[in-house]
Amino acid sequence: MKLRFDGGGSSSEAIGEYGINAAQYGDLQPRLQAARTALKQAWDDSVLGFFECPDTDPQPIMDWAAKIAPNFTDQIVIGIGGSSLGTRAVLESYAGELNGLRTHVTENVDPSTYLALLDSVDLSKTLFIVITKSGTTIETMAKFWIAYDRVLEELGEDAVATNFVGITDPKAGSLRPLSAELGFKTWSVPPNVGGRFSVLTPVGLVPLALAGYPIDELLNGAKACRDAVFATEPGQATLERCAADHYLLHQKGYAQTVMMPYADRLDALSEWFCQLWGESLGKAKNRAGEIVNVGLTPVRALGVIDQHSQVQLYAEGPRDKHVVFLQLEDFGTDVNVPGRSGFPGALSHIQNKSLSKILTAELDGTQAALTAAGRPTSRWVFSDGNPVEIGAFIFAWEYVTAVMGELFDINAFDQPGVEGGKLIAHGLLGKSGYEEHARVVEGANRNVMSIV
């Protein structure tokens, strides 16, 4: 494993008064140490299950996947948010050949894309993975019942038991008894692991194993990262230094975190990060119940594409963004720009240069330009994005997020702001007892004007 973190671009040595100095790090040390102590206690008390996920034995899942996969050609993962983003991010990061099921992740409830997906597969050879911890996720269960009716109509009742798998709470929720009634296999989500922290549970491991992804290596990377943290003195781990960077920059007014991979196959990792960061840290109240309205807004960008659409803002706009670059050193393949006559003189210097060299030069140039403009940056470097590195990256950001919650003195593991919208949606869809929630929309001010 060669995943590295470089936070030098956020230091006062790099960007002067806008950066973080040694004294500020020193002043934060007692709080970093207290954060480690609190999180370790929560792990010991089995309150925060994400610490335990790297110790998952992958063999039962791998054995089951090896047995079931030959009966199918495709799997459709029905989930949303924490039930899908991690799986998709890990799969898309993989550069090698996967010899398992073709994997389709359906998240939104757009009827056109969902129906097109169902029409594109052979239902008799398609396994549906239904993921919802509560069993009451509107989007997931709506699409489950549509798929269920399709399978029932085309293949009959017996196919329901063989073509569906549920991943849900081991005891609570509605999907558990429903799956027992319909006779399909279920896997359990640990009750002490929240959705956005769940990719290293069956939520991610089951569909990844069915796809042929080496989940044992993914877990090994996460475990190595976790153990590296706790092998250091509290407050001294690299990931605690990373959390300190984000917290101290927030104190200076940097309220947005831009994650910008310079590799297409790392792009979905930034999408996974956005949910983890935004939902965990955006909170109205601290633990004392005081209104704080704290949070760091996550922003997705992709190099080099967004050099041409967003970097102008990052370099010369408000000083409120910390740009986190993701670099891939070895793409596993490459190609050179040809050297030939007739090449434009203004670009002759790129002849015989590889695309990966051009991409890296663009990354280095963008970071250097932001540094020259006094804008904080940091960089995560992957050797080749292998599963061990991806597992380490996932645990790393889960831990950094947890430390940030301690520094902000908030609960990083709930999401009360999301629940309000769900209640209103239930009311608008006619759920009994939710009429009062629906009236919030009915009484909303509208100012609708024609465009064409």
Cα within 13 Å of Cα(303), Cβ side = 26
Three-state DSSP state, 450: coil
Inter-CA distances, 68 with 63, 205, 261, 262, Å:
9, 15, 35, 37
Strand order in the sheet with 4-6: 4-6, 377-382, 321-328, 256-261, 297-300
Inter-residue contact 129 to 118 (CB < 8 Å): no
Let me know if 406 is a catalytic residue: no
Catalytic pick among 285, 422, 426, 431: 422
Three-state DSSP state, 184: coil
Let me know if 422 is a catalytic residue: yes
Catalytic pick among 233, 308, 349, 442: 308
d(CA 318, CA 373): 12
The pair phi, psi for residue 76, each rounded to 5°, is -115, 115
- Tell me how many helices (H) and strands (E) the chain has: 17, 12
For strand 377-382 and strand 4-6, is the pairing parallel, antiparallel, or unpaired? Answer: antiparallel
d(CA 93, CA 267): 8
Catalytic pick among 279, 389, 398, 406: 279
Inter-CA distances, 413 with 282, 356, 402, 406, Å:
11, 39, 8, 11
Let me know if 308 is a catalytic residue: yes
d(CA 373, CA 314): 9
d(CA 138, CA 72): 27
Residues that are catalytic: 279, 308, 422
